[in-house]
Amino acid sequence: MTEFIFFINQVVISGAVLGCIYALGAVGITLIFGILRFAHFAHSELMTSGAFFAFLLAALFASWGIVTPIPMGFVVLPLAMVLSAVFALGVDKGFYAPLRQRGAKPVILLIASIGVTLMIQGLIRLFFGAGSYSFFENETKDVFRVDTSFLGSTRPLVITEPQLLMIIVTVISVLALHFFLTRSRLGKAMRAMADNADLAQVSGINTALVVRVTWIVAGALACMAGTMLALDVTLKPDLAFNIIIPIFAAAIVGGLGQAYGAIAGGLLIGFAESLAVFNWTMVLRPLNGVLPEALQLPATLALVPTEYKLTVAFVILVVVLLVRPTGIFKGASS
Amino acid sequence: MIARSLSLFAGLFALILVIGWLMGVPFTSSRLVEATAYALIALGLNIQWGYGGLFNFGIMGFLMLGGFAVTFISYPINPSFWGSDGPWMLGRAALAFGAGALLVYAARQSHRLGLRGGWKTFTIVLAWFVAYCLYRSQIDPAAAYIESTAGFVGGLGINPVFGWLFGGVLAAGVALIVGKIALGLRTDYLAIATIGISEIIRALIKNMDWLTRGTLTVSPIPWPTPLPQEYQASGADQLSSLILARGGYLALALLVLAAAIWLVSRAYAGPWGRMMRAIRDNHVAASSMGKDVKSRQLEIFVLGSVLMGIGGAMLVSFTQIFDPSSYQPINHTFLIWVMIIVGGAGNNWGAVFGAVLIWLVWVISEPLAKTIFETASYWSTSVGWPEIPDIESRSAQMRVFVLGLVITIALRYAPKGLIPEVVRRDS
């Protein structure tokens, strides 16, 4: 039983946390691709800047002497999401809208988004330097240890407070997104436009409004993902730039343009990464007593060495592109 | 058109003179050698994107392969590796790799034994897994042994020019595999697939310590031309030895670049170039005219990657250090894209112009930002405001911002580049 709890700590929890972050990021990418038909590289910088908005707000609140029972990062999240949504709208208005009006090809928009990535990253580094920050400098990161001795385990189940809140918040926002997309007029218009932009336009859907709403939703979700990532590890200028490819992998694996596919893809890649680097010897150790001398388990029996963790996502991506070129849920293409 | 290109190049020359005057000869000569190497790399991307319309975002991977190639070929031989059991163990790992490849091949042919559908897929997946375990069981102890006894495999001690050539060959080989995997995909998917593959290459080169020494870095890598120290030994003073040595390297690099431009321009002016333009502009029409779109695209992808491999090798042998962890997508993939976008995709001179201009902008934006910050700080302190903190590190970050600014401005106001493609209409 100890081994099972260890497996939950090492794979299930860390996979779920990683999967939630990937999923929230990938939903934004997939929505932008579905509506605007280009791969938005600067999404990573929306995530990082969102995390910095939250960090600044948290610092501001703390300087006013406000103390909250849950981590400050979660308290200021709604406000930071609003700021990020406005920021995303501004980026679109300043950089992508002029190109769209000129009728530029999706490829040009993709390159423009790389320019935006570099500019935002440069600005963040200009103001915050290259160092890292922590949300938990003035408050403690609570760690819950659930005693599992009644199951016969000698190890507790370990989860930190941000991780627990993160999973809850992600579930809530995915449900909210689901109801938005299936019940509201705007959500239905978004899905219609993702399916067929021309048809949506001739059937009287206000495409400019749909584009704005897409940026608002994508910016808010990106801020959420970035803040959570910063709460789980540390906040640094290349926070999300390092994981943009796994996030793209999640969006593609799910099928670009498919919101539910992105969530599935994010969780899949998050769990695959945790599973791939998991040391199976820790779980299979009891077998050592049963197995003959020649078949004893080595000290490490991970599928891939830890330093190749991020590579797992790329390998999954390449395999999926080979087997199902438009992803599991059959996505769109530009 | 020609007048415009000439005046742009004249302006670039003037810029180089100004930089030489402001920053000194040693700085400027180094940057010019690097700019030549980047021009070769940009030419490679121009073949892929400007001629072929292929979206390669994995340039960093090919540059790393070139860098590794020149290290492997020209670094002196490591006797403590060749005298140990290392070669034997590596031989066994190679055998395991071959056996695994054979196993996968057999599984792929299993339909001849009557396996169909799900069973065949299962057999292939199983074969891949067994092959992977087999290879890992041999390579892991070999890697641990080499790292603990000899450090790493070392080089072959051959002239670096052969390292450049090997960089091209290695890049071609990998490009063939990457192209076969990814070229069936459309634009955005191709971009993301290539960036993913280049990240895999980076992870491998960075972590295969037994072969590449990983984060421990390899240096000094020999030069193909005489080093400044050699000129000094024969009695030249500091500055002139530096100029002579860098001039020699620059001449060799320019020779390679000129040869590449000549070959590429000749090919592009001929029927091959017309076919490539046809495929780029409308691959469906080209295919219905009987052109083999897929293999032509593979061809152009491999050709472009060869130039990237050679350029990557040139950069590494010039700096004399191979540091796998210094490779960043911003500096080694996006920078080259900016060069092509600003210079003009589809025009070789545009690619060369863009490469030199953007490289100079990239390297001088840091000292420029530092000067601006220092001046601003001087004024702000003189009126009683606090001075700007950490000017050094902040100005180092400014060049990323400037690069982003350049790309967005270029796309907005000169979407075809400063020296755009010349479209000839034969009536």
Q: Does the structure's ipTM exceed the value 0.90?
A: no
A152 in helix, strand or coil?
Answer: coil
3-state class (DSSP) for residue B292: coil
Among residues A143, A138, A147, A178, the alpha carbon closest in space to that of A164 is found at A143
Q: Angle formed by the axes of helices A207-232 and A185-195, to 10°?
A: 100
Name residues of chain B where pLDDT drops below 50: none
- Encoded amino acid at A270, one letter: G
Give φ, ψ of B344 to 5 degrees.
125, 105
Cα distance between residue B423 and residue B273, in whole Å: 12
- The pLDDT value recorded for residue A331 is 64
- Does residue A333 register a pLDDT over 70? no
Single-letter amino acid, residue A242: N
Q: Is the pLDDT of residue A334 over 60?
A: no
Which residue is it, tokens 């060369």? B352
Q: Which residues contact A76 (CB under 8 A, 6 or more apart)?
A: A54, A57, A58, A61
Contact status of A120 with chain B (Cβ, < 8 Å): yes
Q: Give the helix, strand, coil percentages of chain A, each rounded to 5.
A: 70, 5, 25
DSSP secondary structure letter of residue B346:
T
Per-residue pLDDT tens digits for B63-98: 999 999 999 999 999 888 888 888 999 999 999 999
Cross-chain Cβ contact A334/B411 below 8 Å: no
- Using an 8 Å CB-CB cutoff, list chain B residues near A123: 401
pLDDT of residue B231: 86
Residue B337: closest CA among A121, A114, A248? A114
Q: What is the pLDDT of residues A133-142, one digit of tens each?
A: 988 877 778 8
Per-residue model confidence (pLDDT) at position B237: 84
- In whole angstroms, how far apart are CA A60 and each of A65, A92, A126, A307, A310? 9, 28, 20, 37, 35
Question: Tell me, what's the pLDDT at A332?
Answer: 63
Using CA coordinates, name the residue in chain A closest to B373: A126
Which of A119, A280, A312 to mutate: most B Cβ within 10 Å? A119
Decide: B249 and B225 in contact? Cβ < 8 Å: yes
| Average pLDDT, rounded, for chain A | 87
Residues B233 and A253: their CA atoms lie apart, in Å, by: 60
Residue B310 and residue B256 in contact, taking contact as beta carbons nearer than 8 Å:
yes
Cα of B283 vs its chain's centroid, Å: 27
Q: Which of residues 265-324 of A touch B (CB under 8 A)?
A: 305, 307-308, 310-311, 313-315, 317-318, 321-322
Among candidates B191, B193, B207 on the partner chain, residue whose Cβ is nearest the Cβ of A317: B193
Partners of residue B358 in chain A, C-beta under 8 Å: none
Asked if B188 lies within 8 A of A256 by C-beta distance, the reply is: yes
A-chain residues near B200 (CB < 8 A): 311, 314-315, 318
Contacts of residue B96, defined as CB under 8 A and 6 or more positions apart, other chains included, come to: B134, B135, B137, B138, B139
One-letter amino acid at B259 equals: A
Residue-wise pLDDT tens digits, A268-318? 999 999 999 888 877 777 777 777 776 677 777 788 888 888 889 888 888
Among A240, A166, A170, A235, which residue's Cα sits nearest to residue A27?
Answer: A170
Asked whether the predicted pLDDT for residue A26 surpasses 90, the reply is yes
Q: What is the pLDDT of residue A292?
A: 74
pLDDT more than 70, % of chain A? 98
Torsion sign across C-alpha atoms A250, A253, A255, A260: negative
pLDDT value at position B129? 92
Say if residue B148 is exposed, middle or buried (CB neighbours under 10 Å; 0-12, 13-18, 19+). Answer: exposed
* DSSP category for residue B219: -
Give me the pLDDT at residue A307, please. 83
pLDDT at B425: 64
pLDDT score of B116 = 81
Asked if the Cβ–Cβ distance from A333 to B403 is below 8 Å, we say no
Quick one: tokens of A90?
Answer: 């501004």
| Predicted local distance difference test score (pLDDT) of residue B64 | 95
